[in-house]
């Protein structure tokens, strides 16, 4: 597994270079004036434009400018915003908040989603199965912002079980409600995916053979069918983790969370090219590392998978 891990890490290098290049070109090669509106209603002074153009290498060819940026990136310098703030400081402020929110959401996906999917698969065609199917379909059909506002109104404002907003220095308990809202859509998909995958394995020949040999059904489900069914579920959850980090804009807005998603939105709205490139690059690295972790996890879930 060690050699496989090293080989996969080396394979990440060209992927990171390729994705960061595409991101850089997509941000800085867009038509329009990147300094429009940066000085209020009046046009920016020529000295300011010249200074910022030189600072961000906007006079260079986009390929040359990218490699200059890549050199700074390899030194741990994520650049500065147009206001002179270090991007790494903005990232250090916002990323832990959204990471905590995403981890709470992933926890709900694993606990509630997988549990509901297992119960539905074991009670296929019965009341519990129909309940899971109807409830997950309802969650999938409702937009996330509607779920968020309803959850905030009912559980935070009316019942008072949770705080309606999440401020600085919030405890883990404060993230329960927004984490559940963020996980709602993915949780429904995890439940349905677990149900279909486990249901298919329960009808497989090896399960019927094990039951015919006298192996207790609970042991057959737990040690054989369930482990084989978890591979597509783990793959979905691994891919969803990065999506939760970047897609938490709506949830963070509803619960007034100053996190990563809001930072990306503000950077795009203000055309902060350096910040957008740095933040999306961080998301790409997280996606790649999580996918590597998921690939390594396959061997623990399914003993038939070996890494040579």
Q: Which residues pair with 86 in a beta bridge?
A: 80
The sign of the CA dihedral 64, 65, 70, 71 is positive
Q: What mean pLDDT comes out for the span 225-241?
A: 82
| Environment class of 99 (CB within 10 Å of its CB; exposed 0-12, middle 13-18, buried 19+) | middle
Q: Which tokens hold the place of 15?
A: 């992927």
The per-residue DSSP string of 213-281 comes to TT--HHHHIIIIIHHHHHHHHHHHHHHHHHHHHHS-HHHHHHTT--SHHHHHHHHHHTT-HHHHHHHHH
Q: Which tokens hold the place of 248?
A: 């938490």
> Which pLDDT score, from 0 to 100, does residue 215 have?
73
Q: What is the CATH number of domain 90-262+286-301?
A: 1.10.3720.10
Q: Which tokens hold the place of 106?
A: 């992933």
Confidence band (pLDDT; 50, 70, 90) for 112? very high
SS3 80: strand
Q: What mean pLDDT comes out for the span 158-173?
A: 83
SS3 61: coil
Cα–Cα distance for residue pair 173/93, rounded to 1 Å: 20
Model confidence over 245-279: pLDDT tens digits? 776 788 888 888 888 878 887 787 777 777 888 88
| Environment class of 3 (CB within 10 Å of its CB; exposed 0-12, middle 13-18, buried 19+) | exposed
* Matching residue, tokens 């060819």: 61
Model confidence over 125-155: pLDDT tens digits? 888 889 988 998 988 888 888 888 898 899 9
Confidence band (pLDDT; 50, 70, 90) for 299? low
> Which pLDDT score, from 0 to 100, does residue 31 have?
64
Model confidence over 44-82: pLDDT tens digits? 777 767 777 777 777 777 788 888 888 877 877 777 777
pLDDT at 308 over 60: no
Confidence band (pLDDT; 50, 70, 90) for 27? confident
What rounded mean pLDDT belongs to the chain? 80
Cα–Cα distance list, 202 to 50, 132, 225 (Å): 68, 18, 6
Report residue 135: phi and psi, to 5°: -65, -40
Total residue length of the chain: 308
| Environment class of 126 (CB within 10 Å of its CB; exposed 0-12, middle 13-18, buried 19+) | exposed
Q: What residue ranges do the domains of the chain occupy? A: 90-262+286-301
Q: Which tokens hold the place of 263?
A: 């930072």
């Amino acid at each position: 597994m060690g050699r496989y891990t090293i080989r996969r890490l080396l394979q990440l290098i060209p992927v990171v270079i390729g994705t960061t290049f595409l991101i850089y070109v997509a941000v800085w090669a867009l038509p329009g004036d990147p300094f429009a509106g940066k000085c209020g209603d009046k046009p920016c002074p020529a000295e300011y434009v010249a200074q910022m153009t030189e600072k961000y290498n906007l006079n260079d060819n986009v390929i040359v400018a990218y490699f200059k940026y890549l050199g700074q990136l390899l030194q741990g310098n994520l650049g500065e915003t147009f206001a002179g703030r270090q991007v790494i400081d903005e990232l250090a402020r916002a990323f832990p908040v959204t990471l905590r929110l995403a981890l709470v959401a992933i926890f709900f996906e694993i606990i509630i989603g997988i549990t509901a999917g297992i119960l539905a698969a074991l009670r296929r065609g019965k009341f519990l199965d129909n309940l899971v199917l109807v409830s997950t379909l309802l969650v999938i059909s409702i937009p996330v912002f509607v779920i968020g506002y309803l959850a905030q109104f009912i559980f935070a404002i009316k019942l008072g079980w949770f705080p309606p907003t999440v401020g600085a220095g919030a405890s883990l308990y404060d993230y329960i409600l927004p984490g559940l809202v963020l996980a709602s859509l993915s949780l429904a998909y995890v439940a349905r995916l677990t149900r279909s995958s486990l249901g298919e394995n329960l009808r497989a020949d090896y399960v019927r053979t094990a039951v015919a040999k006298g192996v207790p059904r609970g042991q057959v489900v737990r040690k054989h069918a369930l482990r084989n069914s978890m591979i597509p579920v783990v793959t979905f959850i691994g891919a969803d983790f990065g999506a939760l980090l970047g897609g938490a804009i709506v949830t963070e807005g509803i619960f007034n969370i100053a996190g990563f998603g809001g930072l990306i939105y503000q950077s795009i709205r203000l055309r902060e090219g350096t910040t957008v490139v740095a933040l999306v690059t961080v998301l790409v690295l997280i996606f790649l590392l999580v996918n590597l972790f998921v690939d390594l996890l396959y061997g623990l879930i399914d003993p038939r998978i070996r890494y040579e």
